[in-house]
Amino acid sequence: MEYGVLFTFLVVAVVFTAAGIIVNYLLMPSKPNKEKNTIYECGLDPEGNARIRYNLRFYVFALMYVIFAVEAVFLIPWAIIYKKITGWFPLIEGLIFIFILILGLLYAWEKGDLKWV
């Protein structure tokens, strides 16, 4: 019986989702033409190909951000409960984690990936 409620919610969610998609498909206006299907670019006619190649530095900066955001996600809970944990092990574990991330930062810095030229 405990799974009956879960199954009911699952069925209701699927039915509402399907109903929303079906109603949207039936009511939406659809009169495609050449102008509606063109790429919109700030109200101006598009020039050239829409697929431009971005510099690799954008991706490197994004990856560096993700790395340090993950660091914060792991370190904030650790810092909150640090005083509740006894012994030296949590401190050493946190310092090793930070040291590994600093090594990664130093590697990226030495390689020149942090220069925005």
- Residue 50 backbone phi and psi in degrees, to 5: -75, -15
Is 94 among the domain residues? yes
Is 91 among the domain residues? yes
Is 67 among the domain residues? yes
Mean pLDDT on 75-100: 84
Is 116 among the domain residues? no
pTM: 0.47
Number of H helices, E strands in the chain: 3, 0
Is 60 among the domain residues? yes
Domain that holds residue 81: 56-111
Is 102 among the domain residues? yes
Is 22 among the domain residues? no
**Least confident among 7-11, 19-23, 85-89:** 85-89
* Residue that has been written with the tokens 């190909």 in this structure: 49
**Cα 103 to Cα 58: distance, rounded to the nearest angstrom:** 21
Q: Which tokens belong to 22?
A: 């079906």
Q: Is the pLDDT of residue 30 over 70?
A: yes
**Cα 84 to Cα 96: distance, rounded to the nearest angstrom:** 20
pLDDT at 46: 66
